[in-house]
Structure 1
Amino acid sequence: MKKCLGERMRGIIEILNTTFLNTPLYKIILAFIVLFIFLVFRKIFTLFVLSFFQKLSSKTKTDIDDKFFAAFKNPLRFLFVIAGIWGLFDYLNLKGEFLNHIIRGLLIFDIFWVMYNLVCEFEDWVYHLLGKYGKASRELASFLIKITKAFVVIIGIVAMLQEFGINVTGFIASLGLGGLAFALAAKDTAANLFGGIAILTDNIFKVGEWVKIGNAEGIVEDIGMRTTKIRAFDKRVIVVPNSVIAVSNVENFSRRDRRRVMMRIGLTYSTSVEDLNKLLNEIRSYLKNHPLVHKEPLLIYFDEYADSSLNIFCYFFTKTADWEKYLEIKEEINLEIKKTVEKYTSFAFPSNSVYFETPIKVEQ
């Protein structure tokens, strides 16, 4: 029995001493045990240290610490994997510049992993900050987030390639001709994109506002990163490229706080000067005391002698930009002016006087 056990032990020792790539098998096994130990430490670190900080951050009123914890959690756990890989190669005496490049490359990957996670965790903040400006700002926020993520990934890849001695600069330079062709092909798209950014940053208009851009007039229905959709008053949808908006005169009627009233009132020529003065003063007094009419400018004057009327010029502004409310105010004012005119005189209307001349008979 002992003889059999001794033979088995010698057999196992011979197997363990078997070399693979000039390294005894037992060393390879021990190296992987070192890696396994670091993975165990990683599990312990997750169960105790990370769980403690997670509970601690969940008790705070702000969610900033929660976001930072979520961004750092997995990269911190990955550090144990990097340490385990380093321990594995170090135990196998596979030291050298290549191992240093691998470890540094993994550390670079871990750092940019944290940066990428931070962008992901705080992207809802960007949506919240820009979302109040309408759909275009949400699209801009989405675009900025995607660009930032792509930037982090590209810089991370470039840093890792540089660590391994790959000349990325020469590779990028070789893409210059293709990049030029792509830039020319995407010229209009880029112009529309930056036009959309200009609409947001300059706060030209928002969804739901009444605007006029060139021949397009209506309510802004949608602001995209390439085009803006305007719903005309006859229910047509007008699609305007953002690059056109960026170089056009934009009239935003919804941003005004008033609407203009301008009209001429024609009175008959039979109106006396006394009645005309009373009429003008009464209209001025009524408008000055009206709660929905701006006090300045308020111009009510006997303006001209027309062909068939004495014309009063009226020019003032209502205190609303809403069209329906404006029409209600204007109707109320028109009815009051009609009452006042009929109190002193009457309205004139276009008329012509025809005179017939009786021929004189000459006696012969």
Structure 2
Amino acid sequence: MNQAIESISELINAKIWIDIVISLGVLFLFLAIRKIFTTYVFKIILRYAQTRNTETLAQVLLAFEKPFRWLIAFLGIMLAIKYFPFELIAESTATKIIRTVFIILATWGLINISAIWSILFPRVIKRFDLEVDQIVLPFFTKLMKVILFTLCVSIIAEEWGFNVNGFVAGLGLGGLAFALAAKDTVSNFFGGLVIITEKPFTIGDWIKTPSVEGTVEDISFRSTSVRTFAQALVTVPNATLSNESITNWSKMGKRQVAFHLGLTYDTPRKKLETVVRRIELMLSENEEVDNDTILARFDRFNDSSLDVYLYFFTKATSFKDYLDIKEDVNFKIMDILEQEGVSIAFPTRTLVVQSASANVEEELLKQTRQQG
């Protein structure tokens, strides 16, 4: 009898060790499959997608690469637990865990895939001839991420038996406190919507407000990021930005140039007229100068110069091109002045000194009048 019991015990122990070996074998098998997939299979599929110029498919594969790798490892763990000789997790709990992990991995992949909108969005706009500002894309992408995350949390909560509707209803009891705490966040969110809908600027524009001046880099639910010309990154709340006056220098159709050109007082009238007319003609013939408004006029008698007022617009609006055109115009003005023999004035003063004899005569004349 004792021998029979010992034999059964040995068989049970042997089966336990066999199940343990099988469980570990399943786990290592899936880890090996994961390694093979990451090293070889995925790279082959990705290379094939790239050679076919299917950039969209390549982005989708990259978005789901890490979630799929974790899925293989998770399946290996769950199967290893199933073959394990001892019950580590209840069947109902294991089912919930599997569903939860699938939801998390799917959401992870969908959030990653939001980057594909940077490729699809311009194509959709071009295909349907839509007028959509590019600033909508990052805002819409962030909104989609928030929605996906919220749905993921809600579904997982429902899966584990939490009453989401009751939780939402419970928020209504503290709605006032919540609204007060989230007042700034809500105002910034709606400020962002105002910026998106009214489109006072877009990404890459040079703007100036009472708060900041620079190039717009990004817009989120809460704030807008502006890169200043000193290369500092300034984050302005959307609520503040939407309530400020915004000057968008990038929307200029043309750029103004206005200054006074001072000529010396010994410039003859005819020479002055000739210089003014030649400068005006030079500006009108310049292809980089807008012909709608060109003014070159003798404007005023200054303290030490005869001032010619020049007022025109460059067609280019970028700062570099604007400076290049101004430089070219200035050099041509110098050529005109040299050809006409006219000099540019600089501040001068004339000091009149009377001779000593003249002073003596004046003094004697005054004394004679007093005596008389």
Category of TM-score, reference length = shorter chain: 0.5 to 0.7
TM superposition score normalised by structure 1: 0.57
**CA RMSD for the aligned pairs?**
5.7
Is 1:157 the counterpart of 2:145? The answer is no
1:168/1:37 Cα in 2 relative to 1: closer, same or farther (>3 Å)? farther
Give the secondary-structure state (helix, strand or coil) at the position aligned to 1:297: strand
Give the secondary-structure state (helix, strand or coil) at the position aligned to 2:201: coil
Question: What does 1:200-349 correspond to in 2, within 5 Å?
Answer: 202=199, 204=201, 211-214=207-210, 216=211, 218-219=213-214, 225-226=222-223, 240-256=236-252, 258-262=254-258, 271=269, 279=275, 281-290=277-286, 293-300=288-295, 314-318=310-314, 319=316, 321-322=318-319, 324-325=323-324, 328-329=327-328, 331-332=330-331, 334-336=333-335, 338=337
Amino acid at match of 1:246: S
For residue 311 of structure 1, report the CA deviation from its aligned partner: 8.9
What's the counterpart of residue 71 of structure 1? Answer: 67
1:117/1:305 Cα in 2 relative to 1: closer, same or farther (>3 Å)? closer
Partner Cα distance (1:45, 1:182) in 2: 47
Is 1:58 the counterpart of 2:49? The answer is no
Unmatched runs of 5 consecutive residues or more in structure 1: 1-5, 17-25, 93-97, 131-135, 350-364
Partner Cα distance (1:239, 1:117) in 2: 28
What's the counterpart of residue 187 of structure 1? Answer: 183
What's the counterpart of residue 9 of structure 1? Answer: 4
Amino acid at match of 2:44: K
1:301/1:43 Cα in 2 relative to 1: closer, same or farther (>3 Å)? closer
CA contact (8 A) 1:302 1:310 kept: no
For residue 227 of structure 1, report the CA deviation from its aligned partner: 6.3
For residue 7 of structure 1, report the CA deviation from its aligned partner: 1.2
Amino acid at match of 1:111: F
TM superposition score normalised by structure 2: 0.56
Instruction: Give the fraction of aligned pairs with identical amino acids, expressed as a percent.
Output: 21
Amino acid at match of 1:212: K
Unmatched runs of 5 consecutive residues or more in structure 2: 51-57, 122-134, 348-372
Amino acid at match of 1:176: G
1:39/1:113 Cα in 2 relative to 1: closer, same or farther (>3 Å)? farther
For residue 213 of structure 1, report the CA deviation from its aligned partner: 0.9
Amino acid at match of 1:175: L
Give the secondary-structure state (helix, strand or coil) at the position aligned to 2:291: coil
Partner Cα distance (1:178, 1:68) in 2: 39
Partner Cα distance (1:55, 1:306) in 2: 83
Question: What does 1:14-93 correspond to in 2, within 5 Å?
Answer: 37=22, 40-48=25-33, 51=36, 54-60=39-45, 61=47, 62=50, 64=59, 65=61, 67-79=63-75, 81-82=77-78
CA contact (8 A) 1:213 1:249 kept: yes
Give the secondary-structure state (helix, strand or coil) at the position aligned to 2:36: helix
1:32/1:258 Cα in 2 relative to 1: closer, same or farther (>3 Å)? farther
Amino acid at match of 2:109: L
For residue 47 of structure 1, report the CA deviation from its aligned partner: 2.9
1:183/1:143 Cα in 2 relative to 1: closer, same or farther (>3 Å)? farther
For residue 8 of structure 1, report the CA deviation from its aligned partner: 3.9
CA contact (8 A) 2:67 2:109 kept: yes
Which one of the candidate residues 161, 164, 173 is aligned to 1:177? Answer: 173
For residue 141 of structure 1, report the CA deviation from its aligned partner: 9.9
For residue 243 of structure 1, report the CA deviation from its aligned partner: 1.6
